[in-house]
Amino acid sequence: MAHTYILFEFGTDEEKAQLARHKLEGWKQAFRLDKKLLYKLERAEDETKGAPEAPEKAADAPKGEKSKSKSKPKTKSAAEPPGAAAPHNGKVNLLVRLYFSGHEKLTEHRWLERIPAEEPFRDASPRIVRQGEPLFDEVVKQFDSLE
């Protein structure tokens, strides 16, 4: 049971990174890949300063459950400026971890071929790192350090 990582570098294109994240989430739900397909987004330091703002606003929304209509426009208008500013701040990387057991080699192989071939991932210079390769330990540390 070895992990395989796929690294994608989207540059400053936050929109494509979010599209790729959405596609991975769809596959994860549709094919029931909960613990077999994990992903994390890595942003430059400038963008991480803007990221804590969104969870704070999301935490405010549950407090006003009765006034849902008031909180929804606030989150939409608040979500637009960071989304527009994000492409200018820095690079966005997506790390995908595939974790299939030994008897699922064919399934793992199919996902390793499918993910980099799809549209939002194709242009992000995909790089596959398998266990035993020199870069593997660095990628594991990088993946574990992200939330």
DSSP characters for 60-106? HHHHTGGGHHHHHHHHHHHHHHHHHHHHHH--EEEEEEEE--GGGHH
pLDDT tens-digit map of 113-142: 999 999 999 999 999 999 999 999 999 999
Number of domains in the chain: 2
Q: Examine the domain organization and report whether 97 and 141 are in the same domain.
A: yes
Stretch 51-71: mean pLDDT: 45
So what's the pLDDT on residue 62?
A: 47
Q: Examine the domain organization and report whether 37 and 78 are in the same domain.
A: no
Q: Examine the domain organization and report whether 140 and 109 are in the same domain.
A: yes
Q: Examine the domain organization and report whether 107 and 134 are in the same domain.
A: yes
- Tell me the CATH number at 99: 3.30.70
- Domain of residue 74, residue span: 53-87
Neighbours of 14 (CB within 10 A): 23
Phi, psi of 125, rounded to the nearest 5 degrees: 45, 70
Q: Is the pLDDT higher at 41 or at 2?
A: 41
